Structure 1
Amino acid sequence: MLKEGTVVFFLINGYIMSGRVINIEGNDEDYNFSIEGYAGCSGPHIIASRQIHRTVFLTQEEAKKYKNNPQMYLSSYC
């Protein structure tokens, strides 16, 4: 389980972005979280833990591997 304040990386339109994990809810096996600075019109996006290594990455190097794969991007719209 991620910890509050952990820095994670994500891709938006091919750019590697980073932010700190906030608002963790759930248990060790299945939880949701938000990333500080990644929000839409109605506030922070809620991200499921199953998105780790799919659209949210634990290292910049991991994110870089998927920089040219739009299926691995987080959405950039409201």
Structure 2
Amino acid sequence: MLKEGTMVYFLMNGYVMSGQIMNVEGNEKEYTFSIEGYSGCEGPHVIYSNQIHYTVFLSQQEAEKYKDNPQMYLAAYC
């Protein structure tokens, strides 16, 4: 389970972005969180733990591997 304040990386429109984890809720098997600086018109997006290594990455190097694959991007809309 990721802890509040952990730095994660994500892709938006081919760019590697980063932010800290916040608002962690759930348990070790299934949980949700938000990323500071990644929000929509109505506030922070809720991200599910099963998105780790698919749209949310634990290192910049891991994210860089997928920056040419739009299926790995987090949504960039409200």
Smaller-chain TM-score range?
over 0.9
**Residue 26 (structure 1) shift:** 0.2
d(CA) in 1 for partners of 2:17 and 2:66? Answer: 13
Structure 2 unaligned spans of 5+ = none
- Equivalent pairs counted in the alignment come to 78
d(CA) in 1 for partners of 2:22 and 2:3? Answer: 8
Q: Which residue of structure 2 lines up, in the alignment, with residue 19 of structure 1? A: 19
Paired-residue identity, %? 69
Output the aligned Cα RMSD.
0.2
**Residue 14 (structure 1) shift:** 0.2
Q: Which residue of structure 2 lines up, in the alignment, with residue 29 of structure 1? A: 29
Note the alpha carbon deviations across 1:25-66, whole angstroms, 9 max, x for none: 000000000000000000000000000000000000000000
Q: Which residue of structure 2 lines up, in the alignment, with residue 62 of structure 1? A: 62
d(CA) in 2 for partners of 1:39 and 1:20? Answer: 12
Q: Which residue of structure 2 lines up, in the alignment, with residue 72 of structure 1? A: 72
TM-score, scaled to structure 1 = 1.00
TM-score, scaled to structure 2 = 1.00
